Structure 1
Amino acid sequence: MPASGKDLVDLLDLQEVGTDCFLGQAACPSRMARTYGGQLLAQALMAAYRTVPSGRPVHSLHASFLRGGDAKEPVRYDVTGVRDGRSFTARRVCGHQHGHQIFELTASFHRDEAGYEHQAPMPRVPVPGDAVPLVDALERADCDTRAFWREEWKALDLRVIQEREAAAPPAKNLAVAGGRRLGPATERLWFRVHDPLDSQEVALHSCLLAYISDLTLLSTTLRPHGYPFLAPEVQRATINHTMWFHQIVPADQWLLYDKSSDWAGGSRGLATAHVYSPTRGMVATVAQEGLIRPHGVHSERPVPVRSPRTY
């Protein structure tokens, strides 16, 4: 995976291989077998940006992960123009690898306009200097796992706000199962691209935010059940991912990822989050559904035949 901010920027420098068709290179070297979901999000969004008029930043994206990608191979992104209006532009991007579609993204872009404004305030949390580097906060992880995490994500600075440092979570953030009250379904961390970036291009920084947004979000759905981040007992994979961009801010400055999970069931979990800038307020809202299947559970169960019902 990218070892520096420059490597991360280079990963988003797509090669144009045809009309509205782009090639995203693999993140090498990497010990990962599957393509990181944030890489697909960021490269697909960059491909869409390449076909959109300037002055129209992204305001939303919706993505589906259809097959696991091969982390050692590039991905071809085919962009389709869905709409080009006076205020909004919409694009659909399909990611292909080995002759199969592995990913699909729709994105909407909107020219800047004045209008009504309001936002929820950023929660009061410890500053990044008082938070713990994520690699140091990994629980139940052996030395190899810690080394893997340190190598793969060295381009990013990630710092966990540990529960004892944060204010006690409100009662609504305590998950419930079968009448039992579980642990808090919340998690917060600071993040930024580790190295200062030369470019302040809007497209680049929105793609970098998309890249980081897939990291650690799904782990929030496991916190009420006592599983720490990277717990080996659970098979996990992103199924779909949605983002709303409220403003574009530099990704090489500290941003707060305030995550929570209101539901899990059927081997799936749903997590939502807000991204905040300490100086500019709410930056983005994120929602993700993912697979959280206990290892050893058979995934192919017979589908019962039911008579039609009216709901």
Structure 2
Amino acid sequence: MTGPSPAERLVDLLDLEEIDLNIFRGRSPRESLQRVFGGQVAGQALVAAGRTVDEDRPVHSLHAYFLRPGIPGVPIVYQVERVRDGRSFTTRRVIAVQRGRTIFNLTASFHVREPGFEHQLPMPEVPEPESLPRLADEVRQRLGTLPEPLERMARRQAFDLRYVDRLRWSTEELAGVEPRSAVWMRATGSLGDDPLVHTCALTYASDMTLLDAVRLPIEPLWGPRNFDTASLDHAMWFHRPFRADEWFLYQQESPISTGARGLARGQIFDREGNLIVSVMQEGLFRPHSPAPETSSGREVRGETPSS
């Protein structure tokens, strides 16, 4: 008997438990990660906010800060403040708490759909997703086989990722590479028909690859890491309805990196070329410091720096 699919597990992860008025609890899987994946916390927080808003008001924007690293395996409590319920806009503030400490906060705005004029920049011309290799297959081809931890993560991955440009594996291949990246994504199975689930699933996915654009000029996306990285803040604007289990193109670029912080912005298009979401994110990029030595001469690593 097989267990739930990765897409089903994602939907379950986003199905929060309501434990009191305006208070929700989310699961945090115990995985081989140092901290809880930021996209999970953002997606769950948006679910909590959306559960307190009428269905005719979809989310149109969110602004969030990652304050402390989450602990895998420990439930996260989401406290929702009903800031405003206006005639056209609704505002919610969410605080994520783990073991009595605030790890994340989010403000989300919801808007009744209204008619208006339209324009958008065109989607860049890129190969169709079916013509590109799956990320896991591209890595397997290069390495021969995936290390067991990566193989296990690939089996549990809820999104099919296909990079438009080939992966770089060495610093020599990075010469002249611009801080830009593009990747096709879609959930690996059906996410159902609840628009809030699709919005929160895409919020989850939006944190998976955006900072790639910052890293591209300085180190390969696969291989040893020269920097401790962490998401600092995250903002999204939702322009049109979409389904996260259908192909979308995530176009990403980094206009600047300085002071140990890198800024990335993304545009998400559906298969027909409609701009559906805009994203901005800043990440910490702190160079690894030499490990101190004990009196016996053995290296000692401290905790990963966090914001």
TM-score, normalised relative to structure 1: 0.84
Label 1:238 to 1:279 Cα distance change in 2 as closer, same or farther (>3 A). same
Residue of 206, 210, 213 corresponding to 1:213: 206
Partner of 2:260: 267
Contact 2:123–2:273 under 8 Å retained in 1: no
CA–CA separation in structure 1 for the residues paired with 2:165 and 2:98: 39
CA–CA separation in structure 1 for the residues paired with 2:263 and 2:176: 16
CA–CA separation in structure 2 for the residues paired with 1:262 and 1:182: 16
Specify the SS of the correspondent of 1:41: helix
Specify the SS of the correspondent of 1:73: coil
State the Cα distance separating 1:248 from its structure 2 match.
2.3
Partner of 1:168: none
Alignment-mate amino acid for residue 221 of structure 2: P
State the Cα distance separating 1:12 from its structure 2 match.
0.8
Q: 1:13-38, CA deviations, whole angstroms, 9 ceiling, x for partnerless residues?
A: 1101111000011225x222311101
Contact 1:131–1:162 under 8 Å retained in 2: no
Alignment-mate amino acid for residue 160 of structure 1: Y
Superposed counterparts of 1:115-194, under 5 Å = 115-138=116-139, 143-144=147-148, 146-153=150-157, 155-162=158-165, 182-194=176-188
Partner of 2:245: 252
Specify the SS of the correspondent of 1:239: strand
Partner of 1:78: 79
Contact 1:24–1:76 under 8 Å retained in 2: yes
CA–CA separation in structure 1 for the residues paired with 2:224 and 2:253: 18
Q: 1:270-302, CA deviations, whole angstroms, 9 ceiling, x for partnerless residues?
A: 110000001260010001001111211699xxx
Partner of 2:228: 235
Residue of 4, 15, 21 corresponding to 1:13: 15
Contact 1:12–1:24 under 8 Å retained in 2: yes
Query: Where does structure 1 lack aligned partners over 5 or more consecutive residues?
Result: 165-174, 176-180, 300-311
State the Cα distance separating 1:266 from its structure 2 match.
1.3
Contact 2:77–2:96 under 8 Å retained in 1: yes
TM-score, normalised relative to structure 2: 0.85
Partner of 1:172: none
Partner of 1:309: none
Residue of 216, 222, 236 corresponding to 2:215: 222
Aligned residues: 280
Query: Where does structure 2 lack aligned partners over 5 or more consecutive residues?
Result: 168-173, 292-301, 303-307
Contact 1:233–1:295 under 8 Å retained in 2: yes
CA–CA separation in structure 1 for the residues paired with 2:217 and 2:23: 43
Partner of 1:25: 27
State the Cα distance separating 1:9 from its structure 2 match.
0.5
Partner of 1:92: 93
